Amino acid sequence: MNPSNSSIETSKVADLTIDDFRELVQEVVLETLSEIIGDPDEGLELRDDFAEKLRQSLANAEAGGKTVPARKVAEGLGLNW
């Protein structure tokens, strides 16, 4: 939950708005999944060539270079967003 809703932490479920309840459930689900699954990449290091490509890509984006929105990439891969 975001800091502006910190009072939710001490509220009763019956006192929450539907949006606050959804946010609470979403947060609990994400925390639980994170605990169960963890980060499979934790402890791994980037290969030097990939790290360099990433630096170049970030520099290009910061310099105003062309970027592709994640939604377009997902659509191009046939993924529903």
Q: What is the pLDDT of residue 63?
A: 95
Q: What is the pLDDT of residue 77?
A: 93
Q: What is the pLDDT of residue 76?
A: 92
Q: What is the pLDDT of residue 9?
A: 63
Give, for all 81 residues of the chain, the pLDDT tens digit. Answer: 454 455 556 778 889 999 999 999 999 999 999 889 888 888 899 999 999 999 999 999 999 998 999 999 999 999 986
Q: Quote the tokens at residue 80.
A: 């529903």
Contact (CB, 8 A) for 31 and 38 = no
Nearest-CA neighbor of 55 among 1, 41, 47?
47
Q: Which positions ≥6 away from 61 have C-beta within 8 Å?
A: 67
In the chain, domain spans: 3-37
Kindly report the number of other CB atoms within 10 A of residue 66's CB atom: 6
Q: What is the pLDDT of residue 10?
A: 72
